[in-house]
Amino acid sequence: MAQQAQEARTDCYAAVDIGASSGRVVVGYVEDGLIRLQEVHRFDNRQVRRHGHDCWDVDLLHTELLRGLARCKEAGFAPKTVGIDTWGVDFVLLDADDNLVGDAVAYRDARTNGMYEVADAIMAPEELYRRVGLQRQPFNTIYQLLALQREHPEQLEAADTFLMIPDYLNFLLTGQKAVEYTNASTTGLLNAETGAWDETIMAAFDIPRRLFPNVTHAGASLGPVLPEVAEAIGYEPRVVLPATHDTGSAYLAVPACEPPAVFLSSGTWSLLGVENRSPICSEAAFRANFTNEGGYHFRYRFLKNIMGLWMIQSIRRELNGITYVVDEKAIRKG
């Protein structure tokens, strides 16, 4: 209680990092020439079954985001800015009144089964890769949109705006709609050379360009939080775009300024690769299924997806809260 009574520290910044299994809110500040980080809130992220699909509970994410920002104040901080990153590829649709259209279906849902064949009949996979440089994965946003076209075309008709998950959370904080570059690069709809939406691909796949705000880059400010948000959390930070794809932000933390440097970022996925100044969209890269994900300051993370912690996260989910105690002495004897 004594700490809460003190004047909140304002020379600090809040980072919100949300992965496929959990999220956290961390406050950072500089003290004695060192960057200090203090975790103030951690929460579970979960998938829920809705209308026959595995979906993200975006209402829960919003609630936990506000709770975490409020706990910054409880811990004696009033951050100047807030930045949010999440995983890639997943999205929401909003109607003209900014209400959700449909559910935030999770990338591991089975709705994209069979979409390779549908997509390949529209555009050869080699040509798609040459334009966007994105690895061939069934969960890429382009395949999710193809699945949505077939199951719920009325949702695309009713939609007015496409936002990715961190973009939607930013919108709930500020009322501003912006799609950040690093996350947009995971859609399969962003031209690797120009960093803008590839309208040739959108036209070929009958994906409405009108839904997509122009791409915004990390470092842009979306302005202060809404008055009702400021009242709920106890202070009025600005929302600034980091690299909103969590791997893009993770790469920035690696102490390597000049290539060549190989990076390994581990979470639900492990991602192994390098950062380049230009994309590599060659036939060899396509055959090896390397991806060119957008990085900070219009750089490219040339990498491969490797199995990460998903198996452990899945076991934890399937146990549904059951805790097993491991006998460490027995392990050492074995």
Q: Report the catalytic residues.
A: 246
CA-wise closest residue to 222 among 279, 177, 263, 271: 177
User: Is the C-alpha dihedral spanning 195, 113, 102, 17 positive or negative?
Assistant: negative
CA-wise closest residue to 87 among 103, 59, 108: 108
The DSSP-derived string for 106-153 is: -TTSGGGTTHHHHHHHHS-HHHHHHHH-----TTSHHHHHHHHHHH-H
The token pair that represents 37 in the structure block:
């980080």
Cα–Cα dist 223/221, whole Å? 5
Cα–Cα dist 19/16, whole Å? 10
For the chain, give the longest Cα–Cα distance.
Answer: 66
Q: Is 181 helix (H, G, I), strand (E, B) or coil?
A: helix
Q: Please report, for residues 105, 145, 185, the alpha-carbon distance to residue 87 in angstroms, rounded to integers and kept in the order given.
A: 13, 17, 12
How many residues in the chain?
A: 334
Crossing angle of helices 141-151 and 115-122, in 10° steps, is 100
| Rounded to 5°, angle at Cα 120 from 164 and 188 | 20
Cα–Cα dist 302/280, whole Å? 8
Which helix (H) or strand (E) segment holds residue 129: the answer is helix 125-132
Strands 263-266 and 221-224: unpaired
Q: Are 164 and 184 within 8 A, CB to CB?
A: yes
